[in-house]
Amino acid sequence: MSDLEIRESVVRGGIGQSPLRPDGVSKAEGSYLFSSDLSADNMLIGKTLRSPHQHARILSIDTSKALAMQGVHTVITADDVPGKPTYGLISSDQPVFAGEVVRYIGEPIAAVVADDEDICARAIAAIDVVYETLPALTDARFAADPESMEIHPDGNVIREQNVVCGDLSVVGDVIVEDRYTIGMQDQAFLGLEAALAIPDADGAGVECHVATQWLHEDLAQIAACLDLPETAIRMVLGGVGGAFGGREDISLQVHVCLLALATGRPVKMHYSRSESFLGHVHRHPAEIWMRHHATQDGRIVKIEAEFIFDGGAYASTSSAVLVNAVTHTQGPYKCDNAYVRGVAVRTNNLPCGAMRGFGVVQACFAHERQMDLLAQKCNLEPLEIRRRNAMATGDRLITGQTVESVAPVREIIAGLAAIPEPSETLHSNGHPYGLPGGAGNTTRSSDVVRGVGYGLAIKNLMYSEAFDDYSTARCRLDDGVITLKFATAEVGQGFITIAAQIARSTLGLEDVRLDPIDTGVGSAGSTSASRQTWMSGGAVEAACLKVRQLIFEHVAATTGGDAFALVIEGDTLVNTTNGQRWPMLQIVSGLVIDEEVEFRHRPTVPLDENGQGDCHTAFAFVGHRAVVDVDVELGLVRVVEIATVQDVGRALNPLSVTGQIEGGIAQGLGLALMEEIIQRDGRIMNPSFTDYLIPTIADMPPVVAQLIEIPDPQAPMGAKGVGEPPTISSTPAIISAIQNAMNRSGGADTHLTRVPIRPSDIAKAVNSNLRD
Amino acid sequence: MTYTSDEKHFELTVNGSKHQVKDSFLGASLLSVLRDHIGMTGSKGACEEGECGSCSVLLDGNLVCSCLVLAASVTQSSIVTIEGLGGATDVQQAFVECGAIQCGFCSPGLVMAATNLLDRNPDPDVDDVREALAGNLCRCTGYGRILDAVQVAVDGRKRNKL
Ligand code: FES
Ligand code: FES
């Protein structure tokens, strides 16, 4: 075939290519409207009053002074919620406004609406709330204790879930165990929470523009609280400045709609950075004990573990996060026998819920630290112990579920081993950024020790445990132009780019337009759980396939051929029986076809009390190698390079995949080295970007990424979700590399068990004279 | 209203045009005046304390965090915002083409910082770029594609000079 023929039948911007984001130019030029940029004529501003107490009874709320202020339109409290007083993703346990009791510092108590921000702030200060403080439950370890006071009518235990399988009497020749701590991480999306609610002229409904991950779930929760039919509320996606799980729960949605309906005017609410730390759920801090039993040659024979997840004051997605953690205890390794106990509890701390990696981040940190311990005990290289235990397609998990997904764990390990390590540069000669401590000029290069470490992970994709997980898409063909409609939240990940690519490849047409993202079509489910490429991508593909089938039937009817003989090659329709070819654009001229599809993944089942059942849909795998330079005297770390091999099924858009990998690794690096919300008695000590540090461009090392593209037969177009895996095992890889550097400099008897790591964790271990 | 005495009318020169600012609180930041009074929402606020760089603008040619500048103190200055770059500059194009933009909330600030760097130093090495952009947080990209975009813009300018 000549070049010309190949070029002729290619559709530009199809899958496997990297066409540009449709919103890229407007974002680069500043004209793209984020939800915080929205405004409307006659608009008022709303603001939230939050609890200063961790646990207290509300004796009275006096809003009269605030109401009397000029420019204040109204003040609402729990008494003004017409419908359900509570909301929540899995259980509806969180009050719209605290009525009788506040359960964490930052819990909403009232909201004011006024002419401007400044009046709002003064009105908030003028609301008089009388509290009777109550003792607070701050330590998750005591929350499940029957002796502890109950802080919520639903009890302190959100969920207990064990996973028990195989022969529990098995004892390994080699046993390693430790306790691990994972700090509370923040999603720290840059675009702060914001929404604009516009009431209908007749006051019977409202339109809400909001930055969210799941419009329809918001809609259902808002409608219940407002006591309105869902048809009375229209949800429109406001430009979303990142999400990472932090926008899965309701934050200001109900408040802003209530204020708009109460005043009959458009109302905007937006959080400041410090309020944002209070206004959304975080990654669960966790305490994990893990014990691995293995043979002399390093084969895992049994795992025992215990997980305690601090869910904070309200449930959010804690129960699902816990299930993810306990069911991923083994990591991407074979294991026949396990006894795992897990509990997620309520405390009077900040509520926790979804964040990229969703429970697996915590489990992976523990199992990967354990693998390093095991390697040390068995005298094996870190990659060798992982290779010996690597799971493969067809293996049974500790839940009894068989891994049907492509599971290229051995390929990942081989890939990591094959990527050349960066050279040991002379630290003293380079730019100060090359040194741990950076431009602070604190590090002597003689104190710098290089370390190399590894992390591997398995991550479930999509929702689990019998959740009715689906996505809806509509494809309209009109005279050669395709228009797609879906409610899939574009939060930056680039679904809008691949949706168009999928349509182009499926239909052989290049002109694809996207309708606004709103609730004018069925639910797409959440932009979370690495699920939108599979679910909404699957829905777009299925809708386009229906349209394609109708095109084939139309062509068959008009040309007298057989519809089954027709295929689309690039931008050309081909009759495979006689080789006849037509440009697609010519074939669809004048045709109008409109098809809508609800796409579901295969069913899953809930876990039984022993944690058995095919609870997950599919899995993706990943590995990371970190190279670090550590100033062992000061405990400072410079990550030199991250190499990664990731199982992606098929890269629908290679540039987007790279972006997900690099961005996910940055968040994994953040958890390893710097990111932690520090609470003291339930109060955040660092609710700002001055004190809650996220990686800058100076902290991020080069990323060497290699993709494993083995199309997964169960996945639409063979493509697995790629968003979460990069975040998961990058964290333990970095800690493992630091451990390696410490071991080389004489800190071998200290096993690193905590993230984020603190300089003192390193320096204390290495400088024995500092040991306390 | 109690703070009427603090209200001032003043004039700002933004992207070459004069803008009358009325009814602004005297303590208002340049960022909030740009966004809420002048209606230019291209500059973003993600921290309002000088940590994220989303609000970066040029003040008499110098890159500043507009959240840290008192609007009323810069009436004599020339202010250039993202809207004033004219659109489709080489830096903006490189950002779009290299995948440096995901959610895009950081992009206006990063584009301002990168543009400013290239104007000051047409041949920055990777450490110069890191240093110049270290005040701009991005939570989505991990910065790899951003470094790539700046390099593409640098190369493009060099080619144009030849
Ligand atoms: S908003 Fe100005 S630096 Fe963050
Ligand atoms: S692209 Fe989202 S913060 Fe940079």
Question: Residue A642: which CATH number?
Answer: 3.30.365.10
Enumerate the residues of chain A whose CB falls inside 8 A of the CB of residue B101. 21, 24, 27-28
Tens of pLDDT along A110-122? 999 999 999 999 9
Residue nearest to atom 3 of ligand 1 (CA): B50
| Length of chain A, in residues | 772
Residue contact B137–A696, C-beta within 8 A? yes
Q: What is the pLDDT along chain B (162 residues), one digit of tens a residue?
A: 344 445 568 999 999 999 999 888 888 999 999 999 999 999 999 999 999 999 999 999 999 999 999 999 999 999 999 999 988 999 999 999 999 999 999 999 999 999 999 999 999 999 999 999 999 999 999 999 999 999 999 999 999 887
- Nearest CB to B137; choose among A27, A190, A491: A190
Residue A451 lies in a domain: yes
- Nearest CB to A20; choose among B49, B96, B129: B96
Beta bridge partners of A210: A195, A237
Same-domain status, A297 and A434: yes
- Nearest CB to B102; choose among A187, A192, A492: A492
Helices and strands in chain A, H and E counts: 18, 31
Tens of pLDDT along A560-574? 889 999 999 999 999
Q: In angstroms, how far is CA A483 from the centroid of its own chain?
A: 29
Class of domain B10-82: alpha beta
Same-domain status, A661 and A745: yes
- Nearest CB to A273; choose among B46, B97, B111: B46
Give the pLDDT of residue A445: 80
Same-domain status, A577 and A460: no
Which ligand lies nearest the alpha carbon of A36?
Answer: 1
Same-domain status, A707 and A687: yes
Contact status, residue A406 vs residue A712, Cβ threshold 8 Å: yes
Enumerate the residues of chain B whose CB falls inside 8 A of the CB of residue A190. 44, 46, 52, 54, 103, 105-106, 137-140
- What is the rounded average pLDDT of the residues A404-409? 98
Percent of chain A with pLDDT over 70: 97
B128, amino acid identity? D
Distance between CA atoms of B97 and B88, rounded to whole angstroms? Answer: 11
Residue A128 lies in a domain: yes
How far apart are the CA of B139 and the centre of ligand 2, in A? 5
Q: Which of B98, B140, B145 to probe by mutation at the A interface, max A CB count within 10 Å?
A: B140
Tens of pLDDT along A646-680? 999 999 999 999 999 999 999 999 999 999 999 99
Residue nearest to atom 4 of ligand 2 (CA): B138
Tens of pLDDT along A285-322? 999 999 999 999 999 999 999 999 999 999 999 999 99
Judge whether A189 is closer than 8 Å to chain B, CB to CB. Answer: yes
Which of these three, A560, A581, A600, is where a domain ends?
A600
CA distances from A152 to A94, A273, A312, A344, A569 (A): 10, 28, 11, 14, 60
Distance between CA atoms of A493 and A245, rounded to whole angstroms? Answer: 12
Same-domain status, A561 and A615: no
Same-domain status, A717 and A749: yes
- Residue A430: is its pLDDT beyond 90? no
What is the 3-class SS of A629-676, one letter each residue? EEECCCCEEEEEEEEEEEECCCCCCHHHHHHHHHHHHHHHHHHHHCCC
Judge whether B6 is closer than 8 Å to chain A, CB to CB. Answer: no
The pick from B32, B34, B55 for probing ligand 1's pocket by mutation, whose C-beta has the most ligand atoms within 8 angstroms, reads: B55
Enumerate the residues of chain A whose CB falls inside 8 A of the CB of residue B25. 118
Same-domain status, A419 and A492: no
Q: Hey, which residues 193-232 in chain A have their CB within 8 Å of chain B?
A: none
Residue contact A190–B45, C-beta within 8 A? no
Residue contact A29–B85, C-beta within 8 A? yes
Ligand 2 neighbour A659 (Cβ under 6 A): no
Residue nearest to atom 3 of ligand 2 (CA): B138
B79, amino acid identity? I
Give the pLDDT of residue A426: 53
Residue A355 lies in a domain: yes
Same-domain status, A694 and A553: no
Give A115's contacts (C-beta < 8 A, 6+ positions apart).
A44, A45, A71, A73
Same-domain status, A542 and A691: no
Q: Which of A36, A273, A697 to probe by mutation at the B interface, max B CB count within 10 Å?
A: A697
Q: What is the mean pLDDT of chain A?
A: 95
Which of these three, A577, A600, A623, is where a domain ends?
A600
The predicted model scores a pTM of: 0.96
Residue A583 lies in a domain: yes
Q: Which two tokens stand for residue A362?
A: 């915590």
Which of these three, A541, A565, A600, is where a domain ends?
A600
Among chain B residues, the shortest Cα distance to A71 is held by: B1
| Secondary element (H or E) of residue A533 | helix A532-559
Question: Over the range A255-266, which residues count as b (16 or more CB within 10 Å of their CB) and which as e?
Answer: bbbbbbbbbebb
Tens of pLDDT along A184-217? 999 999 999 999 999 999 999 999 999 999 999 9
Q: Ligand 1: which atom is nearest the Cα of residue B44? A: 1
Which ligand lies nearest the alpha carbon of A491?
Answer: 2
Residue A433 lies in a domain: yes
Enumerate the residues of chain B whose CB falls inside 8 A of the CB of residue A23. 104
Domain B87-161: homologous superfamily in CATH: [2Fe-2S]-binding domain (1.10.150.120)
Q: Hey, which residues 605-634 in chain A have their CB within 8 Å of chain B?
A: none
Same-domain status, A552 and A594: yes
Residue A67 lies in a domain: yes
| Secondary element (H or E) of residue A474 | strand A470-478
Q: What's the structural domain count of chain A?
A: 3
Range of the domain at A642: 286-464+607-766
Ligand 1 neighbour B51 (Cβ under 6 A): yes
Give the pLDDT of residue B2: 40
CA distances from A284 to A95, A184, A321 (A): 20, 6, 8
Ligand 1 neighbour B53 (Cβ under 6 A): yes
Same-domain status, A459 and A478: no
Give domain limits for chain B. 10-82, 87-161
Residue A108 lies in a domain: yes
ipTM score for this prediction: 0.96
Ligand 2 neighbour A52 (Cβ under 6 A): no
Same-domain status, A649 and A727: yes
Residue A752 lies in a domain: yes
How far apart are the CA of B44 and the centre of ligand 1, in A? 7
